[in-house]
């Protein structure tokens, strides 16, 4: 900019252009105004010529009349000579009567190149005539004059030229004064401020400050200077914010915002760099830690506490792994990774894995919350398990997935033979997301019959997944997948709603339609809004709450007994029945039973299977039946397949029986027909049995 200001040509400067423009405008305006004035004066001058000639003729009227009346040519010539002495008179005649010339005098008009100007303004030659009359009114002749306008107009032209020149001079002087004012109060301050900006450096705008010109603090120049300074300040602030944003963006690209740990991008970059610099003897290891119960913490306590848990976990991992790894990173919501370099990384990774398992056996205390968090660990070693950073991390994740599935309770090193199983698991997890939408989830209903009357009083809902390529996928495979992938809530709601609609339809075919029982997982029970979801399903299906029974395992209750009691009480108040499924296998304290708002106990099938042969199972079944009745609970035995088992249970007071002795699980249509046949026969269906077991 400095070079531009120095090289600015004079004709391009604002002052020069203002001068040229002002002069041109002033001169133009002066010329126009003066010409207008001249034309106005020319009209006055023309009228003045007429008045002068009229006075001249009036003065000569009397002698001219006398000359005409007496026909005195001598007097007539003297009259004409007197008239001709007047400037501009080029012809005169004194007439007697109508057409008799008494005297005549004339000469040629003045020859001048400027005659055209006066001719244009006043006319070339003007003719004047007055009649000559006596006192009695008798006309005796006439006096004629011819006036050349140039001689009297010449003086006017001189005056007009002087007027025009003076006007132009005044306009020029005014223009110069204005130019001085412009230069003094505008151009010079602008040039000064422009020079102040010549050293402007976009990378260091803070070094520039435009001074407000003296005596211009309150006018437009002061406003302009302050606006420029504000603009420079805005540039400074913007550059500062941009630098801060770039720094922040760079940090966000490589670090986790919640824990402050490195993220997957930085882990991958560091691993790639470490592999690139690794010698033939150097090994690397990636150890990935997954927080086993973190999804349940989020569902139970909300994401705010979940974030606190993650920060505390990161702190604990950082403390345990200090010195043993070169980097700790957060890979995903509940997954962290250690990058280990140096010698004997396999042994060190195994040792760190054991330390982590041991450390997370202790509950995590956050305020009044005591959280038991387990960990699953997957490990992959370079170059044994991978030849690139990305593959090394992926294989560590595969090892982690296998560790979670196998529930080994210890770190799992990557093994290539596990890949096929893991890929199958990933495929099932992916396909499960659309299974219910594509009508692949089928519901079967297994009746619960009254042990004494044979009447079907309830029916348990069993879910089956008919995969289009893999065929029947049993619940023991897809339910854990749904829980680990966070899909159990969606799947559970689908099953509950479908079961409610089917149960509502049975009201049309039976005077005493059975209750419908639906299994609920621990994860569902901990989800916020579970009670509202149940109420919505009942309302949409128009099914009374008393016709719905929720089956919950002991394990689901033990994990968080206080929350479970609170949720179950709300459901119980709404009219929904509560059943403890697989009772006897969860090792729950019997003191919990009196606190739980439940209606039913279901004896696990493992005790019924050998109840006729194993004295321990016999005593356990009797004890559970007596315990249930002492607490005023209905007792159900599931897995009844033999008449002898039925007879034993009836003899010991079991209330409801369920098993293949009565019927296999049926689809909704088949179960409707089953109800219709039972109602029509009016008989006890206790001897009905089918072959083939599928539970």
Query: Is the pLDDT confidence value at 1 over 70?
Result: no
Q: Which of 61-70, 308-317, 520-529, 631-640 has the highest mean pLDDT?
A: 631-640
* pLDDT for res 626: 92
CA 505/CA 511 separation, integer angstroms: 12
CB-CB neighbours of 213 under 10 Å: 19
The DSSP code for 205 is G
Query: Is the pLDDT confidence value at 148 over 50?
Result: yes
Model confidence at 286, in pLDDT bands (50, 70, 90)? Answer: very high
Residues 568, 578: contact at Cβ < 8 Å? yes
Angle formed by the axes of helices 389-406 and 264-276, to 10°? 120
* pLDDT for res 28: 81
Q: If DSSP codes are grouped into helix, strand and coil, which group holds residue 557? A: helix
Q: If DSSP codes are grouped into helix, strand and coil, which group holds residue 185? A: helix
For the residues 279-305, what does the mean pLDDT come to? 78
For the chain, the distance separating the N- and C-terminal CA atoms, rounded to the nearest angstrom, is: 87
Joined together, the tokens standing for residue 666 give 């049926």
- Rounded to 5°, the CA angle 460-668-425 comes to 70
* pLDDT for res 5: 45
In this structure, are strands 600-603 and 634-638 parallel, antiparallel, or unpaired? parallel
Query: Is the pLDDT confidence value at 7 over 50?
Result: no
Query: Is the pLDDT confidence value at 625 over 90?
Result: yes
For the residues 153-180, what does the mean pLDDT come to? 79
CA 600 remoteness from chain centre: 52
Q: Which of 90-104, 200-214, 292-306, 438-452 has the highest mean pLDDT?
A: 438-452
CA 689/CA 685 separation, integer angstroms: 9
Q: Write down the residue that tokens 């990636």 correspond to.
A: 286
Residues 526, 560: contact at Cβ < 8 Å? yes
CA 466/CA 261 separation, integer angstroms: 43
Sign of the dihedral defined by the CA atoms of residues 587, 592, 596, 601, in that order = positive
* pLDDT for res 199: 64
- Rounded to 5°, the CA angle 124-126-127 comes to 145
Query: Is the pLDDT confidence value at 277 over 80?
Result: no
C-alpha distances (whole Å) from 671 to each of 241, 440, 537, 554, 663 are 70, 19, 21, 29, 10
Model confidence at 448, in pLDDT bands (50, 70, 90)? Answer: very high
* pLDDT for res 273: 86
Dihedral Cα 183, 184, 185, 188, nearest 10 deg: 60
| 515 beta partners | 458
Model confidence at 410, in pLDDT bands (50, 70, 90)? Answer: confident
CA 311/CA 260 separation, integer angstroms: 9
CA 658/CA 649 separation, integer angstroms: 11
* pLDDT for res 207: 61
* pLDDT for res 549: 94
Residues 352, 324: contact at Cβ < 8 Å? yes
* pLDDT for res 12: 52
Query: Is the pLDDT confidence value at 607 over 60?
Result: yes
Contacts for 452 with CB less than 8 Å, ≥ 6 apart: 650
Query: Is the pLDDT confidence value at 534 over 80?
Result: yes
More confident residue, 264 or 423: 264
CA 419 remoteness from chain centre: 41
For the residues 565-575, what does the mean pLDDT come to? 89
> Average model confidence (pLDDT) for the chain?
81
For the residues 127-141, what does the mean pLDDT come to? 86
CA 572/CA 565 separation, integer angstroms: 10
C-alpha distances (whole Å) from 542 to each of 15, 438, 545 are 90, 25, 9
For the residues 448-462, what does the mean pLDDT come to? 92
What is the percent of the chain with per-residue pLDDT over 90, rounded to a whole number? Answer: 18
Query: Is the pLDDT confidence value at 587 over 60?
Result: no
Joined together, the tokens standing for residue 147 give 């006036």
Query: Is the pLDDT confidence value at 661 over 50?
Result: yes
Q: If DSSP codes are grouped into helix, strand and coil, which group holds residue 695? A: coil
Joined together, the tokens standing for residue 585 give 């296998």
* pLDDT for res 215: 67
CA 129/CA 83 separation, integer angstroms: 13
Model confidence at 683, in pLDDT bands (50, 70, 90)? Answer: very low
Task: Give tens-digit pLDDT for 215-230.
Answer: 666 666 667 777 777 7
CB-CB neighbours of 274 under 10 Å: 19
More confident residue, 465 or 370: 465
Least confident of 93-102, 159-168, 638-647: 159-168
CA 145/CA 126 separation, integer angstroms: 8
Q: Which of 140-149, 204-213, 619-628 has the highest mean pLDDT?
A: 619-628
For the residues 98-119, what does the mean pLDDT come to? 82
More confident residue, 186 or 689: 186
More confident residue, 397 or 280: 397
More confident residue, 207 or 103: 103
For the residues 173-197, what does the mean pLDDT come to? 73
For the residues 509-521, what does the mean pLDDT come to? 88
Closest CA to 414 of 389, 379, 386, 384: 379
Task: Give tens-digit pLDDT for 478-500.
Answer: 888 888 778 888 888 999 999 99
């Amino acid at each position: 900019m400095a070079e531009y200001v120095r090289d600015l040509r004079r004709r391009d400067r604002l002052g020069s252009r203002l001068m040229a423009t002002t002069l041109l405008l002033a001169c133009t305006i002066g010329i126009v105004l003066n010409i207008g004035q001249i034309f106005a004066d020319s009209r006055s001058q023309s009228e003045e010529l007429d008045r002068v000639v009229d006075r001249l003729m009036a003065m000569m009227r009397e002698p001219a009349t006398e000359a005409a009346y007496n026909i005195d040519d001598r007097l007539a010539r003297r009259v004409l000579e007197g008239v001709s002495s007047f400037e501009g008179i080029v012809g005169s005649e004194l007439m007697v009567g109508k057409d008799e010339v008494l005297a005549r005098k004339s000469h040629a008009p003045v020859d001048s190149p400027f005659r055209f100007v006066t001719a244009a303004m006043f006319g070339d030659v003007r003719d004047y005539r007055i009649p000559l009359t006596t006192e009695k009114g008798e006309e005796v002749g006439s006096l004629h004059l011819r006036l050349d306008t140039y001689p009297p107009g010449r003086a006017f032209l001189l005056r007009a030229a002087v007027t025009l020149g003076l006007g132009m001079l005044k306009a020029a002087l005014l223009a110069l004064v204005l130019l001085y004012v412009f230069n003094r109060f505008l151009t010079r301050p602008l040039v000064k401020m422009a020079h102040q900006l010549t050293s402007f450096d976009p990378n260091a705008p803070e070094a520039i400050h435009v001074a407000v010109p003296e005596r211009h603090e309150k006018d437009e120049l002061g406003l302009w200077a302050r606006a420029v300074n504000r603009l420079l300040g805005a540039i400074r602030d913007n550059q500062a914010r941009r630098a801060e944003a770039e720094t922040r963006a760079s940090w966000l690209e490589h670090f986790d915002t919640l824990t402050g740990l490195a993220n997957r991008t930085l882990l991958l970059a560091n691993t790639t760099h470490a592999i690139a610099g690794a010698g033939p003897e150097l090994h690397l290891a990636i150890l990935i830690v997954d927080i086993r119960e973190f999804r349940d913490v989020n569902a139970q306590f909300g994401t705010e506490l979940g974030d606190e848990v993650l920060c505390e976990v990161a702190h604990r991992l950082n403390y345990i792994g200090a010195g043993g790894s070169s980097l700790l990173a957060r890979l995903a919501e509940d997954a962290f990774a250690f990058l280990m370099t140096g010698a004997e990384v396999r042994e060190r990774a195994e040792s760190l894995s054991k330390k982590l398992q041991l450390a997370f056996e202790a509950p995590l205390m956050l305020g009044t919350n005591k959280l038991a968090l387990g960990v699953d660990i997957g490990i992959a070693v370079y170059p044994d398990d991978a030849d690139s950073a990305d593959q090394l991390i992926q294989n560590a994740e595969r090892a982690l997935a296998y560790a979670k599935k196998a529930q080994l309770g210890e770190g799992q090193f990557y093994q290539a033979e596990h890949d096929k199983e893991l890929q199958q698991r990933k495929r099932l997890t992916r396909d499960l997301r659309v299974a219910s939408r594509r009508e692949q989830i089928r519901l079967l209903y297994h009746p619960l019959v009254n042990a004494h009357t044979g009447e079907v009083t309830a029916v348990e809902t069993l879910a089956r997944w008919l995969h289009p390529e893999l065929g029947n996928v049993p619940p023991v495979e897809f339910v854990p997948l749904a829980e680990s992938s966070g899909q159990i809530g969606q799947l559970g709601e689908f099953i509950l709603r479908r079961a409610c609609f089917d149960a509502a339809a049975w009201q049309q075919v039976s005077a005493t339609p059975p209750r419908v029982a639906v299994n609920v997982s621990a994860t569902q029970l901990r989800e916020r809004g579970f009670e509202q979801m149940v109420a919505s399903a009942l309302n949409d299906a128009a099914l009374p709450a008393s016709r719905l029974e929720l089956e919950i395992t002991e394990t689901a209750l033990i994990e968080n007994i206080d929350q479970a009691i609170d949720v179950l009480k709300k459901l119980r108040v709404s009219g929904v029945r509560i059943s403890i499924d697989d009772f006897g296998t969860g090792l729950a304290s019997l003191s919990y039973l009196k606190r739980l708002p439940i209606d039913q106990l279901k004896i696990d099938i493992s005790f019924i299977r050998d109840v006729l042969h194993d004295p321990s199972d016999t005593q356990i079944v009797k004890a559970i039946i007596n315990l249930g009745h002492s607490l005023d609970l209905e007792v159900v035995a599931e897995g009844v397949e033999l008449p002898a088992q039925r007879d034993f249970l009836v003899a010991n007071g079991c209330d409801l029986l369920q098993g293949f002795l009565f019927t296999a699980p049926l689809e909704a249509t088949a179960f409707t027909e089953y109800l219709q046949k039972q109602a029509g026969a009016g008989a006890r269906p206790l001897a009905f049995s089918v072959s083939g077991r599928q539970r």
